[in-house]
Chains A and B, each alone.
Chain A
């Protein structure tokens, strides 16, 4: 009798889940996309171009990320002037190493909203990147067309207790693998303040990921600014030595 009841409830639950979106919950879509783009670990080479009305700079870098351990390491390879500059992220903390003075410095909380390496990505973006799944409430709000492709529109509102600077994020996911084509970031007053556009989806490191990420601030003071991030190569889920994510590695001269 009791077993029958449980069976009945389970059946009802299974029914709601499968009918919710034919596919998955919004949260699950975000989780899968996040997993696909980051893996448990990733490493590779990339190029970042920063465009402002006054200057334009391109730097290449080698990066290592341990998504599960919440650690990352980036070393600048070029231009010569910045070669050797490195960033280490351990949990909520970031250190920057400057080869010209052979010193590393921890970024204080007051400077977390400053641009990383002068880009439009903030130090905070580096630290908080793991929280897209856990720190937000996700809801599938719409299905629309974006650049001729059908996309799910997922609205992500930060949970009350989450330390998130955005008022909400609107995420335009591909219907096949839920990878984002675009992410719109709104501030607490619901003003659209920046847009991330993801393009050039290719097979690399055994999975499909966007090769090109363009971050465009949309505030008046950042008019004419843009940061373009392009992967050259990426390898997923390889074993990365723990010694990579250390202060000693940060200050290793090269």
Chain B
């Protein structure tokens, strides 16, 4: 076995130039695949992070049924102890209770728009969302005592013709079915580059919404953020243990950002599939390069194989040797490509390129589309292992042809073929 490997390794290097070129091609292809996947991973991670920080959080707890039918009848009764105990779960960085309702929002009697009004506790919400960031073109976020203030998106402000300091009226239906209304003052106008948020969302104070909606102590959702998205499952398990069991009076449901941001997750899956097709095509081309190299080396060695067989080497051994040669080529190429790609991803992640630095044009395009503004790849060793295994498998599959070619003849025939 060892001898066979040594033999294969030496055979590979009998034609240094051809072998170097093949390995280089394979290494470059693998390197590209790793870096491209890394950049996509980075983009997806940022898109998710942005979605999470805009509104949903990594995890949400609702009353069962709320997500399918977002009405006040599914508003949870929450105790301060609940949010406090959620905040104490390891990895949890923010907890914010929200009370959301569809309402008619008006500035004056003619300018009205249907919108979602979300009541939040300002400091808890700001701590885990974009509202702590400089997204305000006018004014700023609510202070904790601002019970009659709201912030709205720039598109809604434009549609309503409202600015900071203006009074808006909210009209909706309370939890008991009565009509609910409130006058609120615009404290800030934000832009988060998400049409739904910028055009149809009003952020108000939780206390105000609870009061006008006859929903004291209630929330339609509790959103949580974690320090690392890989901690989401663990935190969800803790939440499930703590809240999904116990008294059956309140049935809670716990959802991750994957369920909360279905459109984004679908977009990512679709984009990922497109990328994978391109990467597979690239690898297929390279596999044919390896096939070519191995086949050529077999074709020029018929005489040698004939002699080996004549001296008593079994066909099986020769077949194994050719396989090993192909594996040597692949493994060396894959290793170089993987290591270089991984190193570049890690280095790049530490030195992200801001699209804004490329000029104003790029930044504003990203902003309008709500796209991540930074190129920062994320290395994924598991993903690299999958790609490498796939590559090795494809190589072994196509190398069957040169192997069969090598052992096809009887010794005398093989010697004559040369």
Contact = CB atoms under 8 A, between A and B. Distances in A.
Contacts of B179: 82, 85, 98, 117-118
A13 B390 CA distance: 83
Contacts of B175: 54-55
Interface in A131-165: none
A101 B182 contact: yes
Chain B, interface residues (CB within 8 Å), range = 20 to 34
A52 B207 CA distance: 26
Contact of B169 (A82, A101, A115): A101
B16 interface: no
A100 interface: yes
Interface string A48-71: 001011111100000000000000
Contacts, number: 66
B112 A101 contact: no
A105 B109 contact: yes
B181 A101 contact: yes
Contacts of A57: 176-178
B68 to A, nearest CB: 9
Chain A, interface SS category: mixed
B177 A108 contact: no
Nearest to A52: B177
A148 to B, nearest CB: 35
A96 interface: yes
A107 B112 contact: yes
Chain A, interface residues (CB within 8 Å), range = 20 to 34
B343 interface: no
Contact of A105 (B104, B178, B182): B104
A103 B104 contact: no
A53 B69 CA distance: 14
A237 to B, nearest CB: 31
Nearest to A251: B109
A110 B173 CA distance: 17
Contacts of B113: 108, 110
Contact of B109 (A54, A106, A115): A106
Contacts of B185: none
B106 A105 contact: yes
Given A103-B109, A108-B112, A54 B181 contact: no
A81 B174 CA distance: 12
B116 to A, nearest CB: 12
A242 interface: no
B114 interface: yes
B101 to A, nearest CB: 12
Interface string A74-101: 0000010110010000000001101011
B268 interface: no
A100 B110 CA distance: 19
B171 interface: yes
15 contacts: A52-B73, A55-B176, A57-B177, A82-B178, A85-B179, A96-B104, A100-B181, A105-B104, A105-B109, A108-B113, A111-B104, A111-B114, A118-B173, A118-B177, A118-B178
9 smallest beta-carbon distances between A and B, as pairs: A98-B181, A105-B106, A103-B169, A55-B177, A111-B114, A104-B109, A101-B181, A110-B114, A57-B177
